[in-house]
Amino acid sequence: MQTVGYLENADQMMERIKKGAFLTVQADGKVNTMTIGWATIGYIWQRSVLMIAVRDSRHTFSLLEKTDNFTVTVPAPGTYQDAVMTCGTKSGRDLDKFKECCLKQKAAQQVPSPIVDIPGNHYECRIVYKSAMDSTFLHTDLEKLYPKKDYHTLYFGEILACYITS
């Protein structure tokens, strides 16, 4: 395992996240992972953060609302694309995505939510702020991304650990 700087190569990491990453949350004795393709890495409030966006219709949303942490696993380039697709189209309410995709969990170093035990980059985050989107502040060009008016809640996670596994 190699520890990496939070913001080093953030642009390259964002390109990989656009192709799909696993957001994993544990709450109430349940663990779920889902695919994300939208996120941002930056520096605010005197700390490095990873901001994720989750619609309230997602099973992961209900878990996020019951905890203060999450992990993001960005698969090594060109790997786990079938699992990324499945975890982005199937609900954890209906099936165990880890079992369905032959994925394993591994204890995180700093937070209760586990990481997906695959080669890649891992971020362990503590939620420091969340906000449901208010469409009155959304630029009209972006409304096309929300035809069902199912806006995201934005979760800002302080990055407590960031590392690469192979």
pLDDT at 6: 58
For position 10, what pLDDT does the model report? 78
For 10-60, write each residue's pLDDT tens digit: 788 889 999 999 999 999 999 999 999 999 999 999 999 999 999 999 999
Distance of CA 134 to the CA centre of its chain: 21
What's the pLDDT at 11? 81
Average pLDDT, the chain: 95
Residue 7: the pLDDT is: 58
**Whole-prediction pTM:** 0.95
Judge whether residue 8 has pLDDT over 80: no
Residue that is written with structure tokens 């913001």 in the block: 7
User: What percentage of the chain has pLDDT greater than the value 70?
Assistant: 95
Q: Is the pLDDT of residue 9 over 80?
A: no
Q: Which residue has better confidence, 6 or 118? A: 118
Examine the pLDDT at 96 and tell me if it is beyond 90: yes
pLDDT at 5: 64
Angle (CA) 37 40 43, round 5°: 165
Q: Which residues make Cβ contacts (< 8 Å) with residue 34, sequence separation at least 6?
A: 22, 23, 54, 58, 59, 60, 87, 88, 92, 97
Residue 127's pLDDT band (cuts 50, 70, 90): very high
> Which of 157 and 13 is assigned the larger pLDDT?
157
Domain limits for position 118 = 2-165
Looking up residue 70, the CATH number of its domain turns out to be: 2.30.110.10
Our count of domains for the chain comes to 1
Give me the pLDDT at residue 165, please. 95
